[in-house]
Amino acid sequence: MKGLILADIDIVRMMDTKIDTGFSTQIPAYIDKEGTLSAKSSSVTKKQFEDLQEYTKKLIKQISKEILKGKIEVKPYYKVKQGKTPCEYCAYHSICNFNNGICKDSYYYIGNVNKDAILEEIAKNK
C-alpha cells in the first residue's frame, strides 16, 4: 500500500507482522539494521498527522465555500514529473467532458514537491 503511516515502530510491526528489516511488502515502511524506522519510509509523526487533518478540514471548508459561490470548474491535478492525472483512473469522463476538449489544458499543475517541505509549511501556517 502507498500513503502515509504513523512513524511508530511498534505500530509498523503490528501492521506488518512479518517484517524484520528492510522494506515492508505491506506498507510503505523501511526498518534499518538497527531496528528503527528509516527515512526511506513514508511516515509522519502523530503531530504531523494532526496538522494534516486540521489542514485538510480547513481546505475542505474553503473549497466548499468556493463551490457554493459557483466556482465549479473542472480542474484535475497533473503531476508534472510523473505526467499523471486522476483522469487516468476515473470513470466519469463522459460526465465531466474534461477529455473532450472542454476545459482543455486547465490542469492544476503540481511540480516536484517534497513531503518535509509541505509538512513544514502546513505547520507554519496553522
Number of residues lying near ligand SF4 (CB under 6 A): 9
- From the list 58, 93, 104, 115, which residue makes contact with ligand SF4 (rule: CB under 6 A)? 93
Q: Restricting to residues 60-89, which ones interact with ligand SF4 according to CB under 6 A?
A: 74, 76, 86-87
At its nearest, how many Å lie between ligand SF4 and the CB of residue 106?
10
Q: Does 28 bind ligand SF4 (CB under 6 A)?
A: no
**Close Cβ partners of 117 (under 8 Å, ≥ 6 residues apart):** none
Say which residue the cell 507554519 belongs to. 124
User: Which segment (3-11, 14-22, 57-65, 92-100) binds ligand SF4 by CB under 6 A?
Assistant: 92-100
d(CA 59, CA 66): 11
CA dihedral 112, 86, 55, 37 (to 10 degrees): -60
Spatial separation of the C-alpha atoms in residues 110 and 81, rounded to whole Å: 8
Asked if 90 is part of the footprint of ligand SF4 (rule: CB under 6 A), the reply reads: yes
Instruction: Measure CA of the first residue to CA of the last residue in the chain; give whole Å.
Output: 29
Report the residue number, 89 or 125, with the smaller CB distance to ligand SF4.
89
Residues paired with residue 93 on neighbouring β-strands, in sequence order: none
Q: Which residues in this chain contact ligand SF4 in the complex, by CB under 6 A?
A: 74, 76, 86-87, 90, 92-93, 96, 98
